[in-house]
Amino acid sequence: MIEAFRDRGGEGKPVFVQHVLSWNRSEDAAHAAALEQWCFSTLDAEQLWNLRTPADFAAATRAVTAKQVSSKIRVSSDLGRHAEWLKAYADVGVEAVFCLNVGKNQREFIEAFSREVLPELNSGR
């Protein structure tokens, strides 16, 4: 995708990425939050375009599993694993990554990532 961007007028322009993730202290909680908050990520664009009401979204995602959601976004309780995923962006020339934790545990997420993940990323500079 980055190569296509560069080939079609993006040469020399910065690349920014939104990295959607679900982190929590336990794997079960991380997967549950991902399923609850981001189940629509498993739907294709055509389906999303045609959903008009919350009831439509609920019906379209009723059978979605946590495993399906984790194939679309990064889900783990392992902060080291999240650091690895984020480090991979630097290898392909991404200049900034904006992390979106889909869970409701935002304060805990910010504290854990600032304590464990960011220092790991900054050590590679």
65 — pLDDT class (breaks 50, 70, 90) = very high
Give the CATH number of domain 2-122: 3.20.20.30
Domain ranges of the chain: 2-122
* pLDDT score recorded for residue 124: 57
Q: In what order do the strands lie in the sheet with 16-22?
A: 74-75, 16-22, 96-101
Give 34-49 pLDDT, tens digit per residue.
Answer: 999 999 999 999 999 9
CA distance 63 to 73: 18
Average pLDDT, the chain: 94
Say yes or no to pLDDT of 101 above 90. Answer: yes
